[in-house]
Amino acid sequence: MPLFMTQAIVIRSLNYGESDKIITFFTRDYGKLKGIAKGARRSRKRFQNALSLFSHLRLHFFDKEGMGLVRAESCDILHSFPRMKADLQKILYGNYYLELVNEMAGEREGNPEAFELLLSFLSNLEEMETQETHLRLFEIRMLSLFGYRPNMKRCHLCKKDLENLKETPTVFFSLEKGALICDRCSKIRNHLIPLSLGTARLIETISQMELQQIHRWRFTPQALSESEELLPRFIQYQLGKELKSLKVLRKMAR
Ligand SMILES: [Zn+2]
């Protein structure tokens, strides 16, 4: 049976039977991978508590058929994010990142950029205070990387460019089309979410920015509240479900 190696982040962990664990990894090279870690709860030697949520690992695994569960053989911890795990607010943020990736990622579809993004946002939680802006940045980038990028460039119906819509400060977003609708075209559509031109432009800019620049990005209070209204709803629409971790996060914020 061939042995493989990749970097991985533990995004779900379930006890299985008396001594095993079923782990969902988000890996750098193979996307989402589900695996069984035999004896993980009994033998501390091979896995040394490495298989807890958020851990960033170098994972060695066997993959018999190129489908189904892989067999985790051993792993080395690269980052365990101890400061993050000691702070409830950070855990809630992290849980949301993991759930979003788990829901969006396809099994065995490598997406190294999404892996780097998740890793950088977890590192950020370890090093910095939580900021709501980060949730929105994460959502915008993950939507783009997993193929759900909102089209904020031009009106979906009349094709007028965002830059030529300056006469109206408000535009609309269609959840169904995943795209912008201008004020004039909005009259013939239902279920639209209003947003300012500035927020539409911001989401468009962040969608295509270099990863190194994105943590430095700042939102105006208006852009923050509009994108908080828009992005989670768009994600929920795309996934067909509400994310539990976001619900908890919002409850705690109140
Ligand atoms: Zn239009």
pLDDT digits (tens, 9 = 90+) for 206-229: 998 888 888 778 899 999 999 999
Q: For residue 219, report the distance from its CA to the centre of ligand 1, in Å.
A: 26
Residue of 159, 162, 65, 79 lying closest to 123 (CA atoms): 79
Predicted confidence band of residue 169 (pLDDT cuts 50, 70, 90):
confident
Q: Structure tokens of 204? A: 């468009």
Instruction: Measure the CA–CA gap between 211 and 93, rounded to whole angstroms.
Output: 19
CATH dotted code for 1-130: 2.40.50.140
Residue of 37, 129, 54 lying closest to 96 (CA atoms): 54
Q: For residue 162, report the distance from its CA to the centre of ligand 1, in Å.
A: 10
Q: For residue 239, report the distance from its CA to the centre of ligand 1, in Å.
A: 27
Q: Determine the pLDDT at residue 73.
A: 92
Q: For residue 232, report the distance from its CA to the centre of ligand 1, in Å.
A: 24
Q: For residue 237, report the distance from its CA to the centre of ligand 1, in Å.
A: 22
Q: For residue 143, report the distance from its CA to the centre of ligand 1, in Å.
A: 23
Portion of the chain with pLDDT greater than 90, in percent? 78
Q: Determine the pLDDT at residue 44.
A: 67
Mean per-residue pLDDT, 232-246? 96
Q: Determine the pLDDT at residue 218.
A: 85
Residues 6+ apart with CB under 8 A from 56: 7, 8, 9, 77, 78, 79, 80, 81, 119, 122
Residue ranges covered by each domain of the chain:
1-130, 138-254
Comparing 27-36, 62-71, 74-83, 96-105, which segment has the lowest mean pLDDT?
62-71
How many C-beta neighbours within 10 Å does residue 158 have?
Answer: 11
Stronger pLDDT, 24 or 18, i.e. the higher one: 24
Q: For residue 1, report the distance from its CA to the centre of ligand 1, in Å.
A: 57
Mean per-residue pLDDT, 78-99? 96
Q: Determine the pLDDT at residue 47.
A: 79
Stronger pLDDT, 166 or 68, i.e. the higher one: 68
Q: Determine the pLDDT at residue 235.
A: 97
User: 174-193, pLDDT tens digit by residue?
Assistant: 999 999 999 989 987 778 99
Instruction: Tell me the CA distances in angstroms from 83 to 28, 88, 247, one per residue in order.
Output: 24, 10, 23
Q: For residue 155, report the distance from its CA to the centre of ligand 1, in Å.
A: 5
Q: For residue 157, report the distance from its CA to the centre of ligand 1, in Å.
A: 5
pTM of the prediction? 0.94
User: 111-149, pLDDT tens digit by residue?
Assistant: 999 999 999 999 999 999 999 999 999 999 999 999 999
Q: For residue 144, report the distance from its CA to the centre of ligand 1, in Å.
A: 23
